[in-house]
Amino acid sequence: MRVEIVVFDGFDELDAFGPFEVLAAAGFDVALVTAHEPGPVTSMRGVRVDVPTPLGRPDAVVVAGGGWLNRAAHGSWAEARRGVLPRRLAEVAGSARWMASVCTGSMLLAEAGLLTGRNATTNRNAYGELRGYGVTVIEERVVDDGDRITAGALSAGLDLGLWLTERELGPDRAARVAASLDFTRRDPVWTRTSIGMAGAT
């Protein structure tokens, strides 16, 4: 299963590399991609990454966040204003099994019209803005609304990766990956059927 994680100038490192680490460890075919043109991308803290391919037609997509809350010149806010990435996300959504996001990556999904009328989460400091897109905000670390899965801020990307692993490959694989990372999963995942990680009610 091919999962492409979308990055852009100003992306938050943990938003991208957290789920990348988990999904790669689980055995998915995972790649960082750009919105449009391949080439170097610089994170919000100056990490320079050579990204050789643009977003294609993968089985699934994860969108990183970063730079929304402070309206940075580079980041998710700037990408939303440019409009290229939201348009690409809307195009890919029609063929992808699911679209996911970490932190304010959800704002890019919302800008693309992919969360309207849905349940989702984001960085807690952007809850009000996300509601402005017609989204029902669920104040949990990971919210699974079927083919749209969103995670809260930063470290929630690890929980997202483990939940996606559980969804696709089963709880045993997710538990093995969590153990290999020495990571304890936090809080149940919110789903439309109220079935999440162990301990969910």
pLDDT number for residue 187: 79
pTM above 0.75, yes or no: yes
Query: Shortest CA distance to 149 belongs to which of 96, 98, 73?
Result: 98
Domain contains 90: yes
Q: CATH no. for residue 153?
A: 3.40.50.880
pLDDT, position 154: 83
Q: How far is CA 139 from CA 90, 123, 131, in A?
A: 25, 9, 12
pLDDT number for residue 195: 43
State the pLDDT at residue 58.
98
- Contacts of range 110-115, beta carbons closer than 8 Å, 24 or more positions apart: 110/135, 111/80, 111/86, 112/85, 112/86, 112/87, 113/86, 114/89, 114/90, 114/148, 115/148, 115/150
* Domain span at 63: 2-191
In a domain, 36, yes or no: yes
Let me know if residue 87 belongs to a domain.
yes
Instruction: Tell me the helices (H) and strands (E) count for the chain, helix number first.
Output: 7, 11
Q: Report if residue 137 sits inside a domain.
A: yes
**Per-residue b or e along 96-126, where b marks 16 or more CB atoms closer than 10 Å to that residue's CB:** bebbbbbbbbbbbbbbbebbeebbbbbbeeb
**For residue 10, what pLDDT is reported?**
98
Cβ-based neighbour number of residue 147 at 10 Å: 14
Report d(CA 174, CA 25) in Å as an integer: 10
Q: Is residue 201 part of a domain?
A: no
- How many structural domains are present in the chain? 1
Instruction: Please give the pLDDT value at position 201.
Output: 26
Task: Please give the pLDDT value at position 194.
Answer: 58
Residue 166 CA to residue 7 CA, distance in Å, equals 24
Residue 183 lies in a domain: yes
Tokens for 53, please give them.
């391919």
Ranges of the chain whose pLDDT falls below 50? 195-201
In a domain, 100, yes or no: yes
* pLDDT tens, residue by residue, 176-198: 999 999 999 987 899 988 544 43
* Residue 200 domain-assigned (yes or no): no
